[in-house]
Amino acid sequence: MELCQERFLNYSSLLSSLVNEDGTGLNDTTVAFLHQLFPNDMFVKAFSLLETHNIFLYVWSSSEGSNNGIYDVSALAETLYDDNLGSTTLLRMIVQSIDQEFSKEPIYVDVSAWFCSCSEYSECLQDLTSITIADEDPLDKYFEIYSHSTGDCFSRIRENMYMNTSKTLCQHLLAGAILLQTSAKVLKYFTAVKQTVSLICISNKDDWLKLHLNIVE
């Protein structure tokens, strides 16, 4: 049985063209289109996060002490898109809250599980409780099944399973998906070229464990 449903847009490909061919600047036409594509100014908010030094990507490296804390950000970004290494690399994404009066807590984002600790995302999930038993399978509303042969990684949580982004999307997940579910070119642009997103290699176990308490220093 053909599991692939026509998605009309390859979001990974489209979001990847956010950055120009040589990865040195933004593609203004694509940026303008993306402003219209996502509702409720979602793209504007996500793009703002990407440009204002509020996102921290921590990557675990077991090569403790071998590089004296010096690492190549571009090379690290490449490993996250490496077919062999990318899926097994340990990664934590933390967003510093930009609205300090609303919340001082850092926000934890797990793009691969399509989870975010923000209140916006929680509100998306609260809709689940309002679904009546008469619905055959309420969870269907939150998941979509596509063939991996489409090459679209946006909101993918397993080989063929995707989150339904019309039901579950927040600015942090969109920003995370732009970084981690498009192409190495995009990730390198924000981390190594423009340097507005911090990509940090950690090889100290104590520092890595602190991340699980959402401590950002």
Residue 121 in contact with Zn ion, rule: CB under 5 A: yes
**Contact call for residue 116 and Zn ion (CB under 5 A):** yes
**Which lies closer to Zn ion via its Cβ, residue 170 or residue 192?**
170
Q: Which stretch binds Zn ion (CB under 5 A): 119-127, 134-142, 147-155, 197-205?
A: 119-127
Q: Is residue 170 close enough to count as binding Zn ion by CB under 5 A?
A: yes
User: In the complex, what is the shortest distance from the CB of residue 173 to Zn ion, in angstroms, rounded to a whole number?
Assistant: 6
Q: Are strands 198-202 and 55-60 parallel, antiparallel or unpaired?
A: parallel
Angle at 94 between CA 88 and CA 96, to 5 degrees: 165
Q: Report helix, strand or coil for 174.
A: helix
* Using rule CB under 5 A, residue 172 touches Zn ion: yes
The residue (of 93 and 211) whose beta carbon lies closer to Zn ion is 93
Closer CB to Zn ion, residue 15 or residue 173? Answer: 173
Query: Distances in Å between the alpha carbon of 63 and those of 59, 72, 81, 206?
Result: 12, 14, 19, 15
* Residue 93 touching Zn ion (CB under 5 A): no
DSSP symbol at 186 = H
Quote the CA–CA distance of 77 and 93 in Å, as a whole number: 14
- Amino acid, single-letter form, for residue 197: V
Give CA–CA dist 75/191, Å, rounded. Answer: 11
C-beta of 174: minimal distance to Zn ion in Å?
A: 9
Distance of CA 146 to the CA centre of its chain: 19
- Residue among 118 and 201 whose Cβ is closer to Zn ion: 118
* Binds Zn ion (CB under 5 A): choice among 118, 163, 192, 211: 118
Residues that bind Zn ion (CB under 5 A): 116, 118, 121, 170, 172
